[in-house]
Amino acid sequence: MSTAQPVPLSVLDLATVSEGGTSAQALAETTALAQAADRLGYERFWVAEHHNIDTVASTSPAVLIAHLAAHTERIKLGSGGVMLPNHSPAVIAEQFAMLEALHPGRIDLGVGRAPGSDPGTAAAVRSKLSSAAAVRGPAEDGSVPDPWQVDDFPSHLLDLMAYLGDVRMTDRPLMDFRATPQATSMPPVLLLGSSGYSAQLAGYLGLPFAFAHHFDGPGVLGALDLYRERFQPSAVLDESYVMVSAGLVTAADGETAEYHAAPSLLRRWGIRTGRFWPLLHPDEAMVHPEWQRAATMPTNAIVGDSDEAVAGLEALAAATGADELMVHTSTFGLPERIESLELLADAWSRRPSPSAETDAAAAPVCAP
């Protein structure tokens, strides 16, 4: 895909709790950020699911989405994503079917297979589901399997799709179950991932695929190749649809952008080295003992002024052939997050249209 084609921009947010802040403050800031994205014309605004992390208040996507939808006007709201191994597919289907009934055409159900937490926390989140293992009975060695393991993800995803009325899923069990009575529409299901596994599954099922490039991991091109190679047209999607996320901070100039990006960069370095530090003020982050190591860490993040931000996103779109780009802006304070979205939206809207570039290329060159 040519970068000259219009590529919509969307936003991913984690309801970040900065050092000295509270969950209530973080959720209020997420609401304000969603309202800004709505006003600025972004395509969608997604919130993630994480558990037992001091800096993340986004623990229940469905609850947060309901709040955001009630406080915005036209932007699509969704999960980036619901971590399906943590939940009963039927419960998630009911939650998002209700959201769709409340806000028709504005709800996305993005689904992932990671736990969104450490193993101990995942066990606590899933504890009420453990009794469901008895349905399958003990294995030959006498052990009772846990049906909520990640290995069961494809089966649970199919169940979720069936409960939401996917016509391909008529052979799934409990097909007399519907997520909501007398539904007139259902939210689209999108598969999220950062590996070839999820990419291939999304392609096989004919679902849109969102690659978590903001994780700073490698493999985006290989995963997207697998997705497109495996893609099978479906009732919900005729052609492959790729979304790619990117960590991005922009400001009036590059130096200011780097200053605001410092807390997130330091925290990512801490996570990579097994240390979960708070999201510090930029002044504190840049005098941290580990700052120099963080500052030289390889990263996929796009940091700079608005021209540099646009150039970085255009390069990402060109490399990946993305149909949509999703930006995740992590800074200490809300004002710089909103400013980053404002500057990016303005700069992105001023890019030449495909027709303008074509006309310019075809125009005769006149000698002075």
- According to the 3-state scheme, what is the secondary structure of 241-293? CEEEEEEEEEECCHHHHHHHHHHHHHHHHHHHCCCCCCECCHHHHCCCCCHHH
Q: How far apart are CA 155 and CA 55, in angstroms?
A: 32
By CB atoms closer than 10 A (0-12, 13-18, 19+), residue 227 is: buried
Q: Tell me the backbone φ, ψ of residue 331, rounded to 5 degrees.
A: -135, 170
Q: Of 243, 260, 248, 264, which Cα lies nearest the Cα of 309?
A: 248
Write down the residue that tokens 């973080």 correspond to: 26
Pair 210, 110: CB distance under 8 Å: yes
Q: How far apart are CA 78 and CA 68, in angstroms?
A: 10
Looking at residue 57, its pLDDT comes to: 93
307: left (phi over 0), alpha (psi -120 to 50) or beta: alpha
Looking at residue 238, its pLDDT comes to: 95
Q: Tell me the backbone φ, ψ of residue 324, rounded to 5 degrees.
A: -155, 145
Question: Residues near 95 by Cβ (< 8 Å), separated by ≥ 6?
Answer: 62
> Strand, helix or coil at 77?
strand
Q: How far apart are CA 129 and CA 111, in angstroms?
A: 19
Q: How far apart are CA 12 and CA 76, in angstroms?
A: 12
The CA angle 329-304-301, to the nearest 5 degrees, is 50
pLDDT per position in the chain (368 positions), as tens? Answer: 444 568 999 999 999 999 999 999 999 999 999 999 999 999 999 999 988 888 999 999 999 999 999 999 999 999 999 999 999 999 999 999 999 999 999 999 999 987 655 666 666 777 644 444 434 444 455 544 444 455 689 989 999 998 998 877 656 555 678 888 888 999 999 999 988 999 999 999 999 999 999 988 788 999 999 999 999 999 889 999 999 999 999 999 999 999 999 999 999 999 999 998 999 999 999 999 999 999 999 999 999 999 999 999 999 999 999 999 999 999 999 999 999 999 999 999 998 865 545 444 444 333 32
Handedness of CA 170, 87, 73, 236 (dihedral sign): negative
The domains found in the chain, sorted by start residue, are 9-124+148-351 (3.20.20.30)
Q: Tell me the backbone φ, ψ of residue 208, rounded to 5 degrees.
A: -65, 150
DSSP 200-218: HHHHHHT--EEE-GGG--S
Helices (H), the chain: 23-40, 61-70, 89-102, 119-125, 153-163, 196-205, 220-230, 254-272, 282-285, 291-295, 306-320, 334-349, 354-362
Residue 355 token pair: 């027709």
Q: Which amino acid is at 347?
A: A
